[in-house]
Amino acid sequence: MTRIPLIAGNWKMFKTGPEAVDTATHLAQACADVQNKDIMIAPTYVCLPLVATAIADTSLHLGAQNLHFEKQGAFTGEISADMLAAAGVEYVIIGHSERRQYFFETDETVNKKILAAVSNRLKPILCIGETLAQREAGNTFLTLDKQVADGLKSVDPERLQDLVIAYEPVWAIGTGETAGPEQVETVHRFLRTLVDTKISSDLARTVRIIYGGSVKPDNIATLMCIEDVDGVLVGGASLDARIFTQIVKYD
Ligand SMILES: O=C(CO)COP(=O)(O)O
């Protein structure tokens, strides 16, 4: 089973519209010759239509960083799945640890968002990861098991064909600290087995499990060599088109 690697950039709350268009345009040019890798960028909501236009007819894919699970309604400041789909969005990041930490998202809301995404044919990137305290208490696997099981609860496996799971240990995000290759290998293998036993064997074979947390040009090759690592979710190092291109074109 060959899974096409996904190299994804999460731009978080960075870049104005013109800056986002500039970065996306440069990235698309620099990566025009890349084959057999999916490259995705997730700008802020307001930049989505601008970036969608800038990368139309290029090989880049567009992602959003969040969504609301209701279709529409009196939810000031929120954006629904079908609004994203209509704006040309293909992927959506769900349950990022910053959303869980600062905006109090729970596995329950994550689950509703996954359901909303798949109902609108958006490809969900389910983010999971343990905090340092959870790791030190020996609860890494328990935490991840719960995040996956609750996040995907009652979702028809048939609708999860495009699911991506992003393992982002919270202590490795924006800290310059990366999980060691053995840690990443162990967790990714655990996650694939978890999908196999709790959801479906077919899905376990196809689901892309990607790593996030201080991914840089100098550690990408090591990470991508690890079995069961099907790509990366990059924060800080995706903001600069030149640096992100080095990550995309690792060898
Ligand atoms: O949160 C991340 C991607 O979603 C990772 O961020 P950094 O690459 O800046 O550590």
pLDDT along the chain (251 residues), means of 10: 93 98 98 97 98 97 98 98 98 98 97 98 98 95 98 96 97 87 97 96 97 96 97 98 98 82
Q: ipTM surpassing 0.90, yes or no?
A: yes
96 catalytic per annotation:
yes
Residue of 12, 177, 219 to mutate, ligand 1, most atoms within 8 A of C-beta: 12
pTM attached to this predicted model: 0.97
Distances (CA, A) of 156 to 115, 163, 243: 9, 12, 38
Q: Which of 240, 229, 251, 212 is nearest to 8 (CA)?
A: 212
Residue 71, annotated ligand binder? no
* Full set of structural domains in the chain with CATH: 6-248 (3.20.20.70)
| Ligand 1 contact via 231 beta carbon (within 6 Å) | no
Contact 91, 43 (CB under 8 A): no
| Ligand 1 contact via 235 beta carbon (within 6 Å) | yes
Find residue 6's DSSP bridge partners: 38, 231
CA distance 162 to 123: 5
